[in-house]
Amino acid sequence: WWLDPELTYGNAKPFVFTQGHSVCNRSFFPCFDTPAVKCTYSATVKAPAGIQVLMSATQSSYLEEEGVYQFYMEYPVPAYLVALVAGDLIHADIGPRSRVWAEPCLLPTAISKLSGIVERWLTAAESLYGPYIWGRYDIVFLPPSFPIVAMENPCLTFIISSILESDEFLIIDVIHEVAHSWFGNAVTNATWEEMWLSEGLATYAQRRITTETYGAAFTCLETAFRLDALHRQMKLLGEDNPVSKLQVKLEPGVNPSNLMNLFTYEKGYCFVYYLSQLCGDPRHFDSFLRAYIEKYKFTSVVAQDLLDSFLNFFPELKEQCVESKAGLEFERWLNATGPPLAEPDLSQGSSLTRPVETLFKLWTTEPLDSVAAASSADLTKWRTFQTVLFLDRLLDGSPLPHEVIKKLSECYSSQLDSMNAEIRIRWLQIVVRNDYYPDLYKVRRFLENQMSRMYTIPLYEDLCTGTLKSFALEIFYQTQNQLHPNLRKTIQQILSQGLNPLPAIDTTAVTTDTPAMVLEDKVSEATNGAISLRDVNVSA
């Protein structure tokens, strides 16, 4: 993805990055673009003076007089994990084997958020799953045009800069990518039809790491938030939708990235959690996963490899035929549509989730007692995941009675203004879905200052689903030039839904006073109906 300087934070130099997951690197270099094939690689990159080049490699060097970078990845990796980024990037060390790279204007924030704690996460992961095998664990923050939240490129995690303001989301996203160093990068799913082997295991490992470093209550809160999103997605897609299987059948011509959904992550996590519960003690399961990594590192596996290894590691479970337990058969876990067959016990998070449930009930019980509701909780003292869980449940219940949305705005709108973007976007979606005009100016202000998919697409989808499409068009006219062309095209497709075909505007003949927009033909894949991007906004 090539970015003009104005699409970066510093507006100083051009920027380029690659995103190989799932099957995009075939347009970067000739390769066997399948996770079943792994190899080492080397690269020579020539760049103009003042442009820093980084790759997902274990070794690098720079010949300044020639402007040439040399990279070498000494361990075999699948093609999708070869990654390159180049731009106005500087770095700072944040630990003995970690540094952050960012544009100069962002580096101080990145340092303040991550200094010292990445090593803590790596150490916790090593205590659970064995040595970190990639040498360095560096992080590069990318401009808001980066199309996903984060990507686990070995030695060099890519993360969207927009997430820096949301501390708890940043923590979870980085720890998830740390977990991929074992699950996904060292041991990889051999086929994209079993992506859960990377994502489900990485999500499980992520939550083991957060439990070790932040406690069980925080982990249960984050899990409750994600499982809420899973059930929301399931309700929208339908329980018999084939994409809800863990083993999805890829039809010819289908991009595997289309299968990136919460089932891959959360249903996969629930199956892995269920396996851990069969052991009786998660530490016994940790021991199994260490042995699994040691046996299969630098190779690609299928689900049967994992499950056979599990039963061989625990022969007493094999004797009990746990794989055939009625209603919880391994085969059913893999191939049944619908929700997980079992979900984790989240009672250890009740100290954090119960206040959310209480507040939601107060605001949605008739008749409304707004005084009692307003006085029952101080959102400024809540964790981010508590607030987004509360707002997501209000979103699920929208449209709300006018009296309720009016009182909600009076109580919380000004408080939420000062909170992070993950919170603000949810409140603004509530505003839009309830046609609450007094707060619409905040929607405009938010979209005028956002350039990332995850903070624009959900609002445009909601605006165009309801009665506010003209308002959405007006904002888009004013902001389109600050958006990456790919994002601009996606929003154009959203705006064109339900419209008669419009003639393309000759942008070369448009004056600066005339809004220029080309509405593309409808593309059915452009949006997923009522499924907002935030519901599938997951790290790779």
CATH number at residue 330: 1.10.390.10
Of the three residues 181, 213, 236, the one that is the final residue of a domain is 181
430 and 322 belong to one structural domain: no
The amino acid sitting at 473 is L
Max distance between CA atoms of the chain, in angstroms, equals 77
* Domain extent for 411: 348-497
If you search the block for the tokens 């082997």, which residue do you land on?
A: 197
Query: 334: how many CB neighbours lie within 10 A of its CB?
Result: 16
Checking DSSP bridges between strand 299-301 and strand 187-189, what pairing results, if any?
parallel
Q: Is 284 annotated as a binding residue?
A: no
Flag whether 290 is in a domain: yes
Into how many domains does the chain fold? 3
192 and 148 belong to one structural domain: no
CA distances from 142 to 135, 177, 265, 452 (A): 22, 15, 24, 11
Q: Is 126 annotated as a binding residue?
A: no
446 burial type by CB count under 10 A (0-12 exposed, 13-18 middle, 19+ buried): buried
Q: Is 165 annotated as a binding residue?
A: no
Asked if 134 contacts 185 with a C-beta cutoff of 8 angstroms, the reply is: yes
Flag whether 479 is in a domain: yes
Flag whether 402 is in a domain: yes
**Three-class SS state of 406:** helix
Flag whether 375 is in a domain: yes
177 and 199 belong to one structural domain: no
- Residue 330 has what pLDDT? 98
98 and 6 belong to one structural domain: yes
165 and 16 belong to one structural domain: yes
192 and 312 belong to one structural domain: yes
157 and 193 belong to one structural domain: no
269 and 305 belong to one structural domain: yes
Q: Token pair for residue 148?
A: 């996903």
156 and 195 belong to one structural domain: no
Flag whether 522 is in a domain: no
Prior bond of 22 cis (ω within 30°): yes
Of the three residues 181, 210, 237, the one that is the final residue of a domain is 181
Of the three residues 156, 181, 206, the one that is the final residue of a domain is 181
Flag whether 65 is in a domain: yes
Active site residues: 177, 265
Flag whether 374 is in a domain: yes
20 and 103 belong to one structural domain: yes
Any residues with CB less than 8 A from the CB of 80 and at least 6 apart, and which? 20, 21, 22, 23, 24, 25, 33, 35
Flag whether 513 is in a domain: no
269 and 216 belong to one structural domain: yes
pLDDT along the chain (540 residues), means of 10: 94 96 95 97 97 98 96 98 98 98 98 98 98 98 95 98 97 98 98 97 98 98 98 94 93 85 96 97 97 98 98 98 97 98 98 98 94 92 98 97 96 96 98 97 97 96 93 96 94 82 33 31 33 40
Q: Token pair for residue 14?
A: 């051009």
Asked if 110 contacts 148 with a C-beta cutoff of 8 angstroms, the reply is: no
113 and 144 belong to one structural domain: yes
